[in-house]
Amino acid sequence: MQAILALEDGRLFRGKAHGSFSERVGEVVFNTSMTGYQEIFTDPSYSGQIVVLTSPHIGNYGTSPSDAESARPYIEGLVVREFSLMSSNWRATEVADEYLERNDVPVISEIDTRAVVRHLRDKGCLRGVISTAVDDVDALVAKARAHKKMEGTDLASVVSTTKPYVWDAAEPKNETGDKLLPGADAEASAKTTLHVVAYDFGIKQNILRMLARENCRVTVVPARTSASEVMAMAPDGVFFSNGPGDPEPLEYAVQSVRDLKGKVPLFGICLGHQIFGIALGGKTYKLKFGHHGGNHPIKNLATGKVEITAQNHNFNVDPASLPADVVQTHTNLNDDTLAGLRHATDPMFSVQYHPEASPGPHDSHYLFRDFRKMMEDWKKR
């Protein structure tokens, strides 16, 4: 069956339909990762977005429950050059086509993804529609234009868990009861167990695994949980997760950071980092086409080392808006945007990328060790 990708500026791309033969609307972004497509599908930070993958061959190793970052895919649709209808991998339990069809995600293939990416790099992120209704293109363009923009949209509370749950190394599960990969390694298991309360704005499973590997017992809480409710759980540290959408509308999360600041160690990733920036007095802005991929170079300003990182965000903290007591710790070498910060006196730090990156790279795993050390030092006061 034929399919079409219609963008809000009238640009059209025609290809073949796979996955779910349905119609979905979203903001179109591109991801430059060479592997890890299932992790991309299931990253809640992609809620509301149609993803263009620049790697030309997708689906060849199928899908596996252990590769999922959440219980289901969150992408609105998928745009690829070649889409494999078979898998060649001993770990695969389902081919990608069946997996996306079962989860109602449309796919369009046989697309010149280089042309799509160049168009998005030139014009910026655009709203678009994937549809098999290929004859009424004017109506599809109109749908794209009428779709709500990402700016000003709170998606974090939409994808967040509805109730608290415990995730630990002994029996790691998510809120649906699905068992996950083992957590703590031998070295971390020898350390005292610490209690981390993690705000779920669209948290990825590998973040929970990484916290568990540092011998942390993790309680995951809904996005709108108050600081007083969190402190009543007696945490050794509080984590603010990644997630989709614009950070500006998340006043409830910003207030939680302000209320917790100085009372307990805080660590934020991606959307959590942006929330930290706002809570500390800064402002955020939307990037032209975002940072999405597993090959972004970040410089650690304290050590001078360069880390290759995975990233997935459309908004960024403006470093010029931050007060003097906020220290920039990392910078993005592609465009010099702010990639990490810490408070000069209070125990809190955050990064605008994914140190837990699954399947990789793993250059930034040390940040979870840094968080553990911060919690240990705080308990010794």
Average pLDDT over residues 340-356: 98
Contact 36, 59 (CB under 8 A): no
pLDDT surpassing 70 at residue 5 = yes
In terms of Cα–Cα distance, which of 249, 74, 240 is closest to 153? 249
Q: May I ask the CATH architecture of the domain 2-146?
A: 3-Layer(bba) Sandwich (3.50)
CATH superfamily placement of domain 156-379: Class I glutamine amidotransferase (GATase) domain (3.40.50.880)
Beta strands in the chain (DSSP E): 2-7, 12-19, 24-31, 49-53, 57-58, 77-79, 82-83, 106-109, 126-131, 165-167, 194-199, 216-221, 237-240, 266-269, 284-300, 306-317, 326-332, 338-343, 348-351
Same fold, 2-146 and 156-379: no
The mean pLDDT of the chain is 94
Place of tokens 């540092």: 214
Q: In sequence order, what are the residues at sequence separation of 6 or more whose Cβ sits closer than 8 angstroms to the Cβ of residue 151?
A: 246, 286
Model confidence, pTM = 0.93
Structure tokens at 207: 């973040």
In terms of Cα–Cα distance, which of 32, 17, 59 is closest to 295? 32
pLDDT surpassing 70 at residue 267 = yes
pLDDT score at 182: 44
- Give the start-to-end residue ranges of the domains of the chain: 2-146, 156-379
Contact 247, 276 (CB under 8 A): no
pLDDT tens digits along 106-136: 999 999 999 999 999 999 999 999 999 888 9
State the pLDDT confidence band at 188, using cuts at 50, 70 and 90.
low
Catalytic residue IDs? 270, 354, 356
Peptide bond into 359 cis (omega under 30): yes
Contact 327, 346 (CB under 8 A): no
DSSP assignment string, 49-86: EEEEE-SSEESTT-B-GGG-SSSS---SEEE-SEE-SS
3-state secondary structure of 253: helix
pLDDT score at 177: 41
pLDDT tens digits along 212-253: 999 999 999 999 999 999 999 999 999 999 999 999 999 999
State the pLDDT confidence band at 172, using cuts at 50, 70 and 90.
very low
Structure tokens at 57: 């061959």
Euclidean distance between CA atoms 292 and 187, whole angstroms: 33
CA atoms within 13 A on the CB side of 381: 12
Torsion of CA 69, 73, 77, 80, to 10 degrees: 50
Peptide bond into 265 cis (omega under 30): no
pLDDT surpassing 70 at residue 280 = yes
pLDDT surpassing 50 at residue 178 = no
DSSP assignment string, 280-303: TT--EEEEEEEEEEEEEEEEETTT
